């Protein structure tokens, strides 16, 4: 058996699972679809954002904190070595810090892939495939999510995949702004409490 036959057989075993997941998500999100395609997909994007944020809080590799502490320790040692004039010591510490930095980078890329990329891309693919033009036509009487007031090349509308992506980014920006406002209010309240 060659590799193509093996992958075909594997896909035939896996495909029903993906089909079942897709149908299940369709049933789960069906109440949101009564809001219309724009709000329904925006709610799905917001839920996806919430899930990724929750995963980010839950999944924190133990070695990440260990690497951060080790890097801080080496950084302090390097500052002391600079003051005492130990160039060879600084060079050795720089090499160790570089190793730790790249290990931190690798760890954060793996975490971002597991926590953000896979869930977001999975939902994007689901939205794109589930809300096909035919299904949108049946559900809402139009084969697109939103009509544009202008034309971009040959396109005068927004499809479900792009709408999901726009909404996901929009929710992220909104939560970022809310977080900054809350932080600013907390700082202001702390300053008032210290003064008063």
Which tens digit of pLDDT belongs to each residue from 13-56? 888 888 888 888 888 888 888 888 999 999 999 999 999 999 88
3-state DSSP assignment of residue 141: coil
Per the model's pLDDT, the better-predicted residue between 115 and 189 turns out to be 115
Mean pLDDT of 62-76: 82
- Give the count of domains, the chain: 2
| Residues 25 and 39 reside in one and the same domain | no
DSSP code of residue 10: H
pTM above 0.85, yes or no: no
Structure confidence at residue 60 (pLDDT): 77
> CA 67, 68, 73 angle in degrees (round to 5)?
95
| Residues 10 and 54 reside in one and the same domain | no
Conformational region of residue 72, where left means phi above 0, alpha means psi within -120 to 50, and beta covers everything else:
alpha
Distance CA 106, CA 98 (A): 12
Domain-located, residue 66: no
pLDDT tens-digit map of 75-119: 888 888 777 776 777 777 788 888 888 888 888 888 888 888 999
Could you write out the DSSP letters of every residue in 56-125? HHH---HHHHHHHHHHHHHHHHHHHHHHHT-HHHHHHHHHHHHHHHHHHHHHHHHHHIIIIIHHHHHHHH
Per the model's pLDDT, the better-predicted residue between 135 and 191 turns out to be 135
The residue segments making up the domain with residue 6 are 1-29
Domain-located, residue 73: no
Other residues' Cβ atoms within 10 Å of the Cβ of residue 88: 8
Domain-located, residue 91: no
Judged by average pLDDT, the poorest of 7-11, 31-35, 114-118, 138-142 is 7-11
| Residues 111 and 155 reside in one and the same domain | yes
Domain-located, residue 93: no
Structure confidence at residue 115 (pLDDT): 87
Domain-located, residue 18: yes
3-state DSSP assignment of residue 48: helix
| Residues 14 and 109 reside in one and the same domain | no
Structure confidence at residue 1 (pLDDT): 63
| Residues 52 and 141 reside in one and the same domain | yes
């Amino acid at each position: 058996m060659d590799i193509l036959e093996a992958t075909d057989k594997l896909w035939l075993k896996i495909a029903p699972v993906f089909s079942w997941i897709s149908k299940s998500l369709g049933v789960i999100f069906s109440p949101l679809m009564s809001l219309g395609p724009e709000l329904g997909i925006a709610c799905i994007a917001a839920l996806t954002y919430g899930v990724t944020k929750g995963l980010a809080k839950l999944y924190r590799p133990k070695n990440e904190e260990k690497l951060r502490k080790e890097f801080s320790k080496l950084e302090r040692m390097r500052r002391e070595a600079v003051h005492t004039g130990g160039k060879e010591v600084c060079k050795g510490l720089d090499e160790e810090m570089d190793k730790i930095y790249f290990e931190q980078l690798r760890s954060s890329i793996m975490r971002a892939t597991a926590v953000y990329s896979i869930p977001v891309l999975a939902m994007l693919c689901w939205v794109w495939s589930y809300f096909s033009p035919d299904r949108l036509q049946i559900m809402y009487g139009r084969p697109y999510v939103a009509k544009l007031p202008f034309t971009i090349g040959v396109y005068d509308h927004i499809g479900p995949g792009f709408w999901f992506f726009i909404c996901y980014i929009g929710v992220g920006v909104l939560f970022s702004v809310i977080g900054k406002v809350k932080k600013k209010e907390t700082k202001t309240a702390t300053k008032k409490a210290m003064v008063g």
